Amino acid sequence: MPQVFYRKWRPQSLADVVGQDHVTKTLKQAVIQGRIAHAYLFCGPRGTGKTSTARILAKTINCLNSSYGEPCNQCHQCEAVSDGRALDLIEIDAASQRRIDDIRDLREKVHFTPTEGTYKVYIVDEVHMLTSEAFNALLKTLEEPPNHAIFVLATTEAHRVPDTVISRCQRFDFHRISLEHVEARLAHICYGEGIETEPQALKAIARSASGSLRDAENLLEQLVVSYDSNITLAHVRNLLGIGDDETALALVNHILRGEAREGIRIINAVADQGLDLRRFHYQIVDNLRSVLLLSIGVGEALEHTPETMEAMVAIAQSSTLECVLKAVRVFEQASPTQDGPSTLSLEMALVDCSLDIPITQPVTTPTQNIKPRTEPPQPGGLTKESTVNPKIDTPAKAEIPTSSESLHAPTEEIRPKTQSETEPISSPIEEVLPTPVEEMDSQGSGSYTEQELPDGNISDTQWAALRKATKGIKHNKFDIGALLWDCVQRYIEEDTLVLVFKTRPNMERLQGEMENPDTRRLIQETVERVIGIPYDLRLSLVDQGIFSSGVPKGHLVRAARALGAHIVEEIQEQEKPNE
């Protein structure tokens, strides 16, 4: 029965192991110096050579004619290991033999001497699948095994292996195999198998493998079975269900230019063609990453065709770094679901990026384009020609008009009386002076919403931009942008931005997030970027904030403060004692 490529072309010596020189050199020196450890822990992603290296190590230490730390691959010991019939090499699948009874059986058999070789090697694959009881039963054997026993533990999830086990082993971390090494290995296999391939086809196979040589070899064999011994780039794309690079690059261009309509058309066209949306999503993120690296000037590590690189450079030069960074973040989290072909996640990510607005410059209105307003707006929708002239020079109660004629009767224009015409005011409140029209127009319209204190200088546009900019910032589990929706007031107090929350739980959640120094620094940097001024942050509740401290909230006070008045002192009326 013919063997599959990854078994047929499995490395037979340490020199044949691809992309793991930091591991093979150390093991080779250990064999040469005779300093073989009693236990090894091989960690790393799948398909990077962990089990193959363990078998080569077992072959080398039992080889009858080993030279310079390498097996001869000719003696009966080496041939037995290569053929999978060596009695002194025991491979255990921890995913299926994970119980404590299995480890107890291993502890009993480990004392048996080797049958033919010098050492008996135990390879425990996926060791992280063992139960806690099984790990505890294995500890003593790992710490003091017999002189003839060597353990090699292999895992893809080293964080699930107890520290007590790791401390008893020599740990080696296997890295993802680089694109060049995978491509070179595939070319070597194609040469040995008589397969004709395009260079771009091998590069596409290597990219889809994501650093796993075994996955790349399996994909190559699928292509050979499907398209015989002549593999082209079109064959690879057809088998993987991915579109061409031009389609993904065109979508990236629309993303960074905010052209949602054209981008959604491309996404729907890709879905209509029956292509794999998850692989198309991977292409989008990969191209956005390339544009990001080109934007910061480190694109020399990218591997694309000259035409693709030229197009990416043009996109990077026409886009801001902030837009590129946001697009990478949004699309990196917008992976399509595995249980359906829905394009919703990609479409939402595209619209999210297109709705991004510049937040570094506050929205202001040029002073020269504002027509001076000679009078404040009148309540009740009254015009200048139909205003009511109140009597403010007598303490008598003003008469309330009862007919529509009196409401629309022409009256004199309102003008404030001078100090000589009125009695001096003996109160601790400063005289209210109107702000010049030019100065007021340069600062804003003078009107405020319920979510903005008159003393603050944060506009609704800036506040919305701040909530949007802090979206995604979190230390534990609470999103800062989401928590800010519970903030009902905000105002500036010297160099501090005070946020008044409606509910205590959300305020405490934000306090908990800000206890992390990095999160607090990131929030302050975001505030400085949005508002333009560095502010410290202070949190408060509605019943503790400025709105509950006795500051009048009547419409007359708000109108006076809008014209530039300031409250110097607040006097609360005391209750009269009962007579």
- Strand bridging mode 149-155 / 120-125: parallel
Q: Is the Cα torsion angle 247, 253, 259, 260 positive or negative in sign?
A: positive
b/e burial code for range 263-276 (CB count within 10 A of at least 16 → b): bbebbeebbeeebb
Q: Nearest 5°: phi and psi at 201?
A: -70, -45
Strand order across the 487-493 sheet: 487-493, 496-501, 536-541
244 backbone φψ class: left, alpha, beta (φ>0; ψ -120 to 50):
beta
- Among 13, 16, 9, 32, residue whose Cα is nearest residue 71: 13
- Give residue 498's pLDDT: 84
d(CA 35, CA 121): 15
For helices 100-109 and 132-143, angle between their N-to-C axes, nearest 10 degrees: 20
The neighbour count for residue 180, using CB atoms within 10 Å, is 12
Domain ranges of the chain: 5-173, 179-240, 245-354, 448-562
Burial class (CB in 10 A: 0-12, 13-18, 19+), 493: middle
Structure tokens at 237: 């794309």
CATH architecture assigned to 5-173: 3-Layer(aba) Sandwich (3.40)
Distances (CA, A) of 353 to 249, 313, 314, 357, 467: 16, 20, 19, 9, 16
Distances (CA, A) of 230 to 198, 204, 309: 8, 15, 28
- Give residue 336's pLDDT: 78
Q: Is CATH 1.10.8.60 the right assignment for the domain spanning 179-240?
A: yes
- Give residue 58's pLDDT: 93
- Among 330, 373, 325, residue whose Cα is nearest residue 352: 330
pLDDT in tens, 165-201: 999 999 999 999 988 899 999 999 999 999 999 888 9
- Give residue 215's pLDDT: 92
Q: Nearest 5°: phi and psi at 173?
A: -100, 120
Contact present, 232 and 264 (Cβ < 8 Å): no
Provide the residue type at 168 as one letter. R
Provide the residue type at 210 as one letter. S
- Give residue 567's pLDDT: 57
Look at residue 306 and give its three-state secondary structure. helix
Please, what is the Cα angle at 169 between 168 and 171, to 5 degrees? 140
- Give residue 457's pLDDT: 56
CATH architecture assigned to 448-562: 2-Layer Sandwich (3.30)
pTM: 0.57
Task: Write out residues in the chain with pLDDT < 70, as ranges.
Answer: 1, 337-341, 356-457, 475-476, 543-579
- Give residue 497's pLDDT: 84
Contact present, 40 and 169 (Cβ < 8 Å): yes
- Give residue 356's pLDDT: 58
E-strand ranges in 108-228 read 120-125, 149-155, 170-173, 196-197
HSE (CB half, 13 Å, CA atoms) of 274?
A: 2
Dihedral angle of Cα 247, 251, 257, 260, to the nearest 10 degrees: 130
- Strand bridging mode 149-155 / 39-43: parallel
- For 245-354, the fitting CATH number among 1.20.272.10, 1.10.510.10, 1.20.840.10, 3.40.50.300 is 1.20.272.10
Distances (CA, A) of 305 to 71, 216, 252, 310: 41, 21, 17, 9
Q: Nearest 5°: phi and psi at 267?
A: -60, -45
